[in-house]
Structure 1
């Protein structure tokens, strides 16, 4: 039986011969018209259906069959990739070992949806909590792989002590029991996501209206606390994860990708064209972006490679990026719903731009950022 290459060659040869005969006949026909001055007969008009049938009957069945097979293979590989690739790596016994930390309010619907999605994709998800209400929000998930990480922001010392709990978890081997055999493995710190909550800030339209207490709270939450968290252990934990990647790979017996650990700033920013009191919200976004810019600049000094040519060899470098999600509330976005949107399907065929966005697209983007070898500085989703 001829192999795939021979089949392609045979089809190509048939197409070439057919094209050659058509060109030859066209040349003879044009030459006869040029020499013979007799006016050509009136063409017979066929119906559109008959013309289509005649054109289709001239197609080579082997060409149609080959195109169908290749199209089917391409579709199968695409569907298989989309279903299997967005899954965290697992140990040979099926246990999870890749961990992600989310720094954000666990009572936020956006955070809750993302936590549950990452958990379903095979990650162990740690979520920062600061009070009893947030602890209960995590415990209500009733999943052993969704865990709270209690933070105390009173001082640099309390922050370091809080993050030492995470470091201790990562450095202590986990035990797993399979039948009569006992084995252990280490967790791999995949990355951290910093998700600001822009949905609960007061609305101001003038500078004179801003209350000092609200402004101080914003500075604390969007700059001072996050910066203290980064400088007092979080960045060090990500760098240590880079240092231990090869050891964890050998110890666990599972291949870990070459990509360094990730630090992702997620700006889920609500936008309403009808709302004119956005002054304080814009201030909040600017402060958050300022922190990202300086963190990115300082981290970039540790990059010793050449982008897309020579990979970075310095384990102190971590991949830092920002995911900007512009949430247009006036468009009735369906971001927090993953059901099939008929309007979205219709827009695919009509060419109309659709601003609706399902949670699946947002979660897929986060997953891809965690697993990409080289990141751009900023990614944007317009919902």
Structure 2
């Protein structure tokens, strides 16, 4: 019996050892197969921010500075270019239909430059004239879209008669081609700019020096004539333009928007460090500002309460504002300087006040006032 047990034990041990070796060999074989067929581990993906930081850290500091400067210049030029695309609306056939009236002397260099700028931006520009010299100044422009509006200031009746010519032009359809009424259109009265000319008055430093005829001429030109023009048809023409806005939109087939017609007083205040004889200039500015204040108050009374909040819903609402231009002049006027030179650039970085007020800055401000849906009371440009 023990021999039988021992033989069975020996046989079992042999079987166990063989099974153990077989299992071990199988495991080694499976391990070899697993190792050879297992795909490589997935590479770690860095985030975009990590990649940017890694690349940025490799850049040279000079390269970073240069890229920043060039990027800033490029951004400025893009924003400046997009902002300066100030153009009047046109009809679908490309014709002009927005009109602006300038109340000022066409012999003034300020008025001349503004007239030409508005004309280049697509406006039909009417300029008030009172004598043959001013008519010739308009005719010398040689542009059919720069037109004179003859004014007679002898009485309220003659002023109304003069402004009726403008009203007749606005109410009569224009013809794209002579004899072809199918392409007719109406003009839209965009606004009026009152530009007082302070540069032709004599210079006084004391009250006793003022001549009565000079003072009377100042009162006439800076207060009485302008006020008579406003009260005898100009404000009514602007209100009527708003009343006809929807009709003009449908007839012309172009969107005018809810932008009310504008009445803008433009005042130039020359600031000179050497000129001491500016007493008369101060008088003329005060008189003109007084006219603006009373005109502003009288017309704002009509639009108090809800109508002032919803001004775009009030068809006869007009916007009234004042644009004051402060410019420095020493030996010569800096107002009409243009261009961007290296001295201007150095002044910007050195903190020195730039005395030159470019005409472009002034013209852009005028365009923005004419095309704003709402205006504040006073705007100031300083050089």
Per the TM superposition, whether the score is higher than 0.5 is yes
1:147 matched residue in structure 2: 147
Contact map agreement 1:332 1:356 (CA 8 A) in 2: no
- State the alpha-carbon separation in 2 of the partners of residues 214 and 55 from structure 1: 73
Residue 372 of structure 2 is aligned to residue 338 of structure 1: no
Whole-angstrom distance in 2 between the partners of 1:250 and 1:18:
55
Q: Is residue 2:112 matched to residue 1:78? A: no
CA deviation profile, 1:343-363 (whole Å, cap 9, x unmatched): 222223333331211111111
Change (3 A) 1:365 1:307: farther
2:129 is equivalent to residue 95 of structure 1: no
Aligned to 1:280: 280
What CA distance in whole angstroms lies between the structure 2 residues aligned with 1:99 and 1:379? Answer: 23
Distance 2:82 2:88 in 1: 14
Higher mean C-alpha deviation, range 96-105 or range 315-324 = 315-324
- Partners of 1:281 and 1:75 in 2: how far apart? 39
Q: Is the 8 Å Cα contact of residues 176 and 183 (structure 1) preserved in structure 2?
A: yes
Q: 1:175 to 1:211 in 2, by over 3 A?
A: same
In the superposition, relative to structure 1, how do residues 14 and 165 fare at CA in structure 2: closer, same or farther (>3 Å)?
same
Task: Give per-residue Cα distances to partners, 1:251-306, cap 9 Å, x unaligned.
Answer: 11111121100000000122212111111110110000000000001111222566
2:221 counterpart of 1:221: yes
Query: CA 1:76–1:109 in structure 2 vs 1: closer, same or farther (change >3 Å)?
Result: closer
Residues 347 and 280 of structure 1, relative CA distance in 2, 3 Å threshold: same
Contact 2:337 2:356 in 1 (8 A): no
* Residue equivalent to 1:15: 49
**CA 1:334–1:168 in structure 2 vs 1: closer, same or farther (change >3 Å)?**
same
User: What does residue range 33-48 of structure 1 map to in structure 2 within 5 Å?
Assistant: none
Say which SS state the counterpart of residue 302 (structure 1) adopts.
helix
SS of residue paired to 1:223? helix
**1:204: how far off?**
1.0
TM-score by length of 1: 0.79
Offset of 1:82 from its aligned partner? 2.5
Give the alignment of 1:176-187 within 5 angstroms: 176-177=176-177, 182-187=182-187
Q: Return the match for 1:55 from 48, 54, 57.
A: 57
Q: Distance in 2 between matches of 1:341 and 1:73?
A: 19
- Structure 2 segments unaligned to the other structure (5+ residues): 1-44, 62-67
Structure 1's 57 and 137: CA in aligned 2 closer, same or farther, altered over 3 A?
Answer: closer
Gaps of 5+ in 1: 1-9, 23-52, 60-66
Q: CA offset at residue 321 of structure 1? A: 0.5
Mapped to 1, the partners of 2:92 and 2:79 lie a distance apart of: 25
- CA distance, structure 1, for counterparts of residue 204 and residue 180 of structure 2: 64
* Cα deviation code 1:318-338 (max 9, x no counterpart): 101111111211285543132
Please say if 1:174 is aligned against 2:208: no
How far does residue 203 in structure 1 lie from its aligned partner after superposition?
A: 1.0
Query: What is the TM-score normalised by the length of structure 2?
Result: 0.79
Q: Distance in 2 between matches of 1:331 and 1:214?
A: 25
